[in-house]
């Protein structure tokens, strides 16, 4: 498996673009409308927010996937406005799809739609329909970066990742783009993700792979305890690699799933590192758990502790907050055998053994915690499974960002 450039355009047969449609009110005219397109109809899989309040784009995309039998050719995306919880939202989401379909010359139901941004404000559909011809005209197999920028809201950097791998001696590729900085919990994120691959794979297996990998990547991401109305991960497979169709959970399926995990894991890390106001990436590694589910629950409980996040911002090795978070995790575990350590590029230090504190150098601990990537390692000594969760520290800037988010 090799890391390659190209994001959503890394796989064969995909083009993308991004334009400024005027949804964002800024002098720099940063892109706010994006498009991903494959001329060859692709099998499609998706995971959506589990919030009871679902934005119109989520509902329309779900409807289109149901009607087409899980196939799609295009995804149109906008930032700054979530198109959620307003009366005209469904009509606006449908209009985004129909206008894109008309210009591309495909069926409306072959277009999926994603929106991200402020909830409860009408999306100016006239600006979007006016921009769609330019958006389609800009489509390029080098347009991945423009599309990745177009979905950014409070993100400080665009997020892309792609790899190549082999199936049936054929080079296959998979790549994706993501956005998200806040409203990330308990599952996924305020995140819009499009992932593309050129392999041939049964649509049901594609969905199985996406759901399984989401559980170990995006669903192990935690920023601030809120869940968005718009969370969406879309995976397209257009078959351009010309491998033998994958119809079973065999070696080829496992090879693809490993590549999908590699892309989604790295996008997850990028999302965690770019959490709103974040200065540190936090990684909670839990090993020797009785099951993956228990390990995941413990890891996410640690990453989700606001007190711990504040301690990491302050470079304070307050390991008691970790043990406390483990103690209220929704999992059946014993506290007595637990060991805890901190690690970074500056080294590692043990702070807890057998559920009790150890003597350690506060100066060495502070040095380790001064890095911008911190690992919190927990050994439960209660099984053989492991899990990892990703998050970030809690800083003054988080409050500043969310205190005037709509302005």
Residue pair 219/267 in contact (Cβ under 8 Å)? The answer is no
Classify residue 279 by its DSSP letter: S
Which residues fall within 8 angstroms of residue 363, CB to CB, at 6 or more apart?
A: none
Is 190 known to be catalytic?
yes
Which residues fall within 8 angstroms of residue 3, CB to CB, at 6 or more apart?
A: 161, 162, 163
Q: At what angle do helices 56-68 and 89-104 cross, to 10 degrees?
A: 50
SS3 of residue 30 by DSSP: coil
What are the helix (H) ranges across 180-250? 203-216
Residue pair 150/117 in contact (Cβ under 8 Å)? The answer is no
92-124 b/e (C-beta count within 10 Å ≥ 16 → b) = bbbbbbbbbbebbebbbbbbbbbbbbebebebb
End-to-end C-alpha distance for the chain, whole angstroms: 44
Neighbours of 248 (CB within 10 A): 10
Neighbours of 8 (CB within 10 A): 29
Nearest to 150 by CA among 184, 107, 186, 179: 179
Which member of 190, 191, 196, 214 is catalytic?
Answer: 190
d(CA 318, CA 351): 9
d(CA 38, CA 158): 22
- CA distances to 14, 34, 221, 365, 378 from 283, in Å: 33, 31, 10, 16, 11
Q: Which residues are catalytic?
A: 190
């Amino acid at each position: 498996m090799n890391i390659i450039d190209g994001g959503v355009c890394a796989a064969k047969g995909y083009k993308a673009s991004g334009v400024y449609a005027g949804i964002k009110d800024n002098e720099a005219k940063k892109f706010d409308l994006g498009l991903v397109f494959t001329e060859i109809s692709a099998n499609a899989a998706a995971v959506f927010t589990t919030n009871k309040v679902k934005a119109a784009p989520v509902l329309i995309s779900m409807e289109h996937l149901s009607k087409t039998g899980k196939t799609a050719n295009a995804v149109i995306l906008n930032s700054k406005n979530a198109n959620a919880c307003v009366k005209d939202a469904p009509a606006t989401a449908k209009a985004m799809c129909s206008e894109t379909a008309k210009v591309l010359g495909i069926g409306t139901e072959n277009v999926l739609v994603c929106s991200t941004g402020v909830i409860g404000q009408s999306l100016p559909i006239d600006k979007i329909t006016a921009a769609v011809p330019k958006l389609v005209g800009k489509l390029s197999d080098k347009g991945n970066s423009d599309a990745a920028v177009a979905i950014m809201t409070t993100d400080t950097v665009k997020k892309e990742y792609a790899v190549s791998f082999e199936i049936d001696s054929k080079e296959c590729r998979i790549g994706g783009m993501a956005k998200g900085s806040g409203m990330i919990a308990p599952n996924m994120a305020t995140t819009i993700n499009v992932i593309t691959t050129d392999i041939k794979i049964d649509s049901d297996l594609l969905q199985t792979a996406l759901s399984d990998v989401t559980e170990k990547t995006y669903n192990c991401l935690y920023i601030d305890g809120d869940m968005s109305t718009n969370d969406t991960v879309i995976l397209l497979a257009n078959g351009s690699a010309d491998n033998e169709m994958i119809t079973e959970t065999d070696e080829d399926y496992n090879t693809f799933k490993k590549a999908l995990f590699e892309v989604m894991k790295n996008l997850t890390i990028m999302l965690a590192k770019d959490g709103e106001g974040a200065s540190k990436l936090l990684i909670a590694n839990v090993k020797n758990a009785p099951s993956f589910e228990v390990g995941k629950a413990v890891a996410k409980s640690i990453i989700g502790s606001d007190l711990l996040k504040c301690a990491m911002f302050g470079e304070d090795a307050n390991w008691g907050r970790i043990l406390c978070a483990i103690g209220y995790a929704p999992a059946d575990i014993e506290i007595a055998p637990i060991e805890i350590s901190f690690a970074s590029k500056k080294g590692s230090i043990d702070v807890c053994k057998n559920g009790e504190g150890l003597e350690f150098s506060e100066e060495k601990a502070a040095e380790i915690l001064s890095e911008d990537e911190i690992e919190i390692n927990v050994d439960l000594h209660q099984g053989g499974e492991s899990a990892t969760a990703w998050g970030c520290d809690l800083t003054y800037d988080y409050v500043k960002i969310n205190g005037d988010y709509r302005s």
